[in-house]
A and B are shown apart, each in its own frame.
Chain A
Amino acid sequence: MDYFAQQLINGLVLGSIYGLIAIGYTMVYGIVGMINFAHGDVFMIGGFIALITFLILVSIGLTMVPVILLLALLVAMAVTALYGWTIERIAYRPLRHSFRLAPMLSAIGMSFVLTNFAQVAQGARVKPVPPIVTGGYTLYEGPGGFVVRLSNIQIVVVITTVVLLAIFTWLVARTRLGRDMRACEQDQTMAALLGVDVDRTISMTFVIGAALAAVAGMMYLLYYGLVDFFMGFVAGIKAFTAAVLGGIGSLPGAMLGGLLIGLIETLWSAYFSVEYKDVAAFSILIVVLIFLPTGLLGRPEVEKV
């Protein structure tokens, strides 16, 4: 039971990271109707930028950990958001009215470009970081000597996720931008006729998605203590699985799906086999799409001729 509780905590933390990435997928899918295949790599870029910012901040002599974390988070979000904007501008916008497969293939190309860019620019080796947030609390000490721990970094990850989700929900539900986004999601032509700047709204969607991916990248960096240029691929597919599981196009669904995928992956590694944890996650994707194509919180898609 103690073991289970510990895995539950780990799974929820991992799930928060997946959920943050999944929001980017689900938002873009909701508005443009395409899978932003490069989103996993945007997450990786976010991790790298957070890492480099940490290095600079530490080397110029900052020692207050909360200040470092906040500054790194802001820089990573801003720069990665610009990456998201540029990618949309270069690779997706010219293809908006092209044929069905074009944006998907362009996105795959973009994903390769980003992966290889990070590899060439920062080298192929794994970049380790020393633990920045240390310490934690012992929640429960079992009779067998098994300790259920909640580390500070786990608290940071969960709190950051919750705060960002609150801001983000407010953004979509209450602001002009959020209203524009929801309008574009329903009908782009009609939204344009009513004075919504569709191009700008779509750009902003990519910007927000990339910023959240950057947060996920930084949390991943803090939690696992490393980044490498290839981490975006698998994380991207898992986050996409999370978005599908929650119902693509649904924002609470993306978060729920992320948490579920994180839990399933952690529990699978804990009780069955670590080697096959990715297989488990990918199998879920297939199973969900067969039996529950609209996901947990999604709306059924109307098939039009």
Chain B
Amino acid sequence: MDTALPDMPSTSRKIDIAFILKKSLVSALVALVLFSLMIGIRTEAGPSGQLTYWTRFGDLAMMVVAVFAGSIVIEWLRHWWGPVETIRVVPPMAEKALSLAGRLVAPALLAFTFLVPVIFYDQRYILDLGILVLTYVMLGWGLNVVVGLAGLLDLGYVAFYAVGAYSYALLATNFGLSFWICLPLAGILAAFFGVLLGFPVLRLRGDYLAIVTLAFGEIIRLVIINWQSFTGGPNGVSGIPRPSLFGIPMTAADDGFAARLGIEFSPTHRIVLLFYLILALALLTNWVTIRLRRLPIGRAWEALREDEVACRALGINTTTTKLTAFATGAMFGGFAGAFFATRQGFISPESFTFHESALVLAIVVLGGMGSQLGVALAALAMIGGFELFRGLEQFRMLVFGGAMVLLMIWRPRGLIGHRAPTVFLKDNRAISSDLVKEGR
């Protein structure tokens, strides 16, 4: 797709219709061959187990025409825009305006989030959606420590989420421990698993690291499925206790939250509690990350991301740097997992598939890897987007995957890709991450 005449002078914008038509025709032909069997013919197992098929040439024709038309539009746009510049330097004025907006967006968003349960108190759906978005914001911020700050591509983040969820579920159902005791335990256990994963992958980089973390995530999931006596296998764990407000249960009972305050009981109270709980956990993640970035360990993480060899040459202990990054990220994943378990009341291995890891990773990448605000906005866009297209449930992964590819082509550095210095001489100026060449 990149044969868009890279050395064409940008002044000549004459649209070459014959060229566009030729390219679109080729695209349509390729689409015809690709889709001819997969879409033109539909197979299905019949009632007695034998395979039957029927043709769908109408759909096939529609797809091919759609590819042809889409290709014309894309080629035309490409001519119109001209060659794509890969490095953009933001002019100082725009940069100032952007940084001002950036400083305003975060507090405004935070204030709005605090007010959500007040504004939408009657709308259960919005509250539930808010909790879901905040869960992903927290997961995104947790993974951001590993991927965004330390630059370690982790495709198995869901493993720590699962460890956190199962720690709480099993501790609570077997020993009757309360949520507030289990929460730190879940975090510690997840962090322990983070170190466990960290040790073998210390020497690995880039793609290898990604695949090993993916394998780790799958191992955890397979063990959960198969170790039936301990985890309940595919049936999962049910009857997980709901959270209490520091010992006060959110039930209609006499010693419940509503009765003690002397107000009428409403199930919404629990939802609001969950909302503020995950908000507090997410903000804790954010706060710890921001503070850690200013400590030597946080700076070591960012140095590691930019260039591991230089890092070692400067005497940074890459072993501890990597392990702490994994452990810290995993701990937040564990917290989020414990929250997930208490919110759902039921967990099963189905909630912890690779798709979940990829979704969280996509949030971090879309957010610009390292930008806290970007991750929050990306989580809002992703989860909100999924909700908007709920009717297209079966095309969900198609759209998600396609968006991931397009995003990588269009903005590989994410929505807010910038590098903010931790140390500066006169003024604190963030630069676009297009300008840094990450250690390859």
Residues of A within 8 A of B38 (CB): 45, 48-49, 52, 117-118, 121-122
Residues of B within 8 A of A104 (CB): 153, 206-207, 210
Residues of A within 8 A of B404 (CB): 105-106, 108-109, 112
Using A35-B207, A128-B49, A128-B51 as known contacts, say yes or no to A52 and B398 having CB atoms under 8 A apart: no
Tell me whether B99 is interfacial, beta carbon within 8 Å.
Answer: no
- By the criterion CB–CB under 8 Å, are A128 and B45 in contact? yes
Contacting residues of chain A (139-185) with chain B, CB-CB under 8 angstroms: none
Comparing B117-125, B137-145, B215-223, B238-246, the segment that makes contact with chain A is: B215-223
Residues of B within 8 A of A118 (CB): 38
Residues of A within 8 A of B386 (CB): none
CA distance A75 to B34 in the complex (A): 11
Tell me whether B396 is interfacial, beta carbon within 8 Å.
Answer: yes
Using A128-B45, A237-B215 as known contacts, say yes or no to A102 and B408 having CB atoms under 8 A apart: yes
Nearest residue (CB) in A for B216 is: A286
CB distance from A39 to the nearest CB of B (A): 12
CA distance A290 to B155 in the complex (A): 18
Using A35-B207, A119-B394, A289-B212 as known contacts, say yes or no to A279 and B34 having CB atoms under 8 A apart: no
Using A233-B354, A279-B219 as known contacts, say yes or no to A94 and B1 having CB atoms under 8 A apart: yes
CB distance from A263 to the nearest CB of B (A): 19
Interface residues on A, range: 35 or more
Nearest residue (CB) in A for B401 is: A112
> How many interface residues does B have (CB within 8 Å)?
70
Which one of B37, B201, B398 lies within 8 Å of A113 (CB-CB)?
B398
Residues of B within 8 A of A240 (CB): 211
- By the criterion CB–CB under 8 Å, are A109 and B412 in contact? no
Residues of A within 8 A of B42 (CB): 121-123
Residues of B within 8 A of A52 (CB): 37-38, 41, 43, 53
Residues of B within 8 A of A122 (CB): 38, 42-43
CB distance from B352 to the nearest CB of A (A): 15
Interface of A is mostly: helix
Residue from A45, A79, A109, A116 having most chain B Cβ neighbours under 10 A: A109
CB distance from A192 to the nearest CB of B (A): 14
Tell me whether B104 is interfacial, beta carbon within 8 Å.
Answer: no
CB distance from B52 to the nearest CB of A (A): 9
Residues of A within 8 A of B355 (CB): 112
Tell me whether B14 is interfacial, beta carbon within 8 Å.
Answer: no
Residue from A89, A94, A237 having most chain B Cβ neighbours under 10 A: A94
CA distance A145 to B350 in the complex (A): 42
- By the criterion CB–CB under 8 Å, are B34 and A82 in contact? yes
Tell me whether A189 is interfacial, beta carbon within 8 Å.
Answer: no
Residues of A within 8 A of B155 (CB): 108
- By the criterion CB–CB under 8 Å, are B412 and A95 in contact? yes
CB distance from A97 to the nearest CB of B (A): 8
Tell me whether A61 is interfacial, beta carbon within 8 Å.
Answer: no
CA distance A25 to B172 in the complex (A): 44
- By the criterion CB–CB under 8 Å, are B41 and A112 in contact? no
CB distance from B405 to the nearest CB of A (A): 4
- By the criterion CB–CB under 8 Å, are A53 and B37 in contact? yes
Tell me whether B93 is interfacial, beta carbon within 8 Å.
Answer: no
CA distance A114 to B397 in the complex (A): 9
CA distance A23 to B295 in the complex (A): 46
Nearest residue (CB) in B for A85 is: B30
- By the criterion CB–CB under 8 Å, are B212 and A285 in contact? yes
Residues of B within 8 A of A51 (CB): 43, 51
- By the criterion CB–CB under 8 Å, are A99 and B211 in contact? no
- By the criterion CB–CB under 8 Å, are B401 and A127 in contact? no
CA distance A283 to B365 in the complex (A): 28
Residues of B within 8 A of A112 (CB): 355, 358, 397-398, 400-401, 404
Nearest residue (CB) in A for B410 is: A94
CB distance from B117 to the nearest CB of A (A): 34
Interface 1/0 per residue, B33-61 and A, CB below 8 Å: 11111110111110001110100000000
Residues of A within 8 A of B397 (CB): 112-113, 115-116, 119
Which one of A79, A126, A282 lies within 8 Å of B34 (CB-CB)?
A79
Tell me whether A83 is interfacial, beta carbon within 8 Å.
Answer: yes
Tell me whether B309 is interfacial, beta carbon within 8 Å.
Answer: yes
Tell me whether A91 is interfacial, beta carbon within 8 Å.
Answer: yes
- By the criterion CB–CB under 8 Å, are B405 and A113 in contact? yes
Tell me whether A70 is interfacial, beta carbon within 8 Å.
Answer: no
CA distance A121 to B40 in the complex (A): 9
CA distance A61 to B405 in the complex (A): 42
Residues of A within 8 A of B43 (CB): 51-52, 55, 122-123, 127
Interface 1/0 per residue, A216-244 and B, CB below 8 Å: 00000000000000000100010011001
Tell me whether B248 is interfacial, beta carbon within 8 Å.
Answer: no
Tell me whether A90 is interfacial, beta carbon within 8 Å.
Answer: yes
Contacting residues of chain B (257-310) with chain A, CB-CB under 8 angstroms: 307, 309-310
- By the criterion CB–CB under 8 Å, are B33 and A276 in contact? no
Tell me whether A194 is interfacial, beta carbon within 8 Å.
Answer: no
Nearest residue (CB) in A for B400 is: A112
Contacting residues of chain A (30-75) with chain B, CB-CB under 8 angstroms: 34-35, 45, 48-49, 51-53, 55-56, 59, 75
- By the criterion CB–CB under 8 Å, are B215 and A285 in contact? yes
**Seed contacts A48-B37, A93-B2, A109-B402; 12 additional CB < 8 Å A-B pairs:** A49-B37, A55-B53, A104-B210, A105-B362, A108-B155, A112-B401, A120-B394, A127-B44, A286-B200, A286-B201, A286-B216, A305-B307
The 9 closest A-B pairs by CB, nearest first: A109-B404, A112-B401, A113-B401, A116-B397, A282-B215, A116-B398, A106-B408, A109-B405, A275-B226
5 A–B contacts, CB within 8 A, in A order: A90-B405, A93-B1, A105-B408, A119-B397, A286-B201
Using CB atoms and an 8 Å cutoff, list the residues of chain A in contact with chain B. 29, 34-35, 45, 48-49, 51-53, 55-56, 59, 75, 79, 82-83, 86, 89-91, 93-95, 97-106, 108-123, 125-130, 233, 237, 240-241, 244, 275-276, 278-279, 282-283, 285-286, 289-290, 293, 303, 305
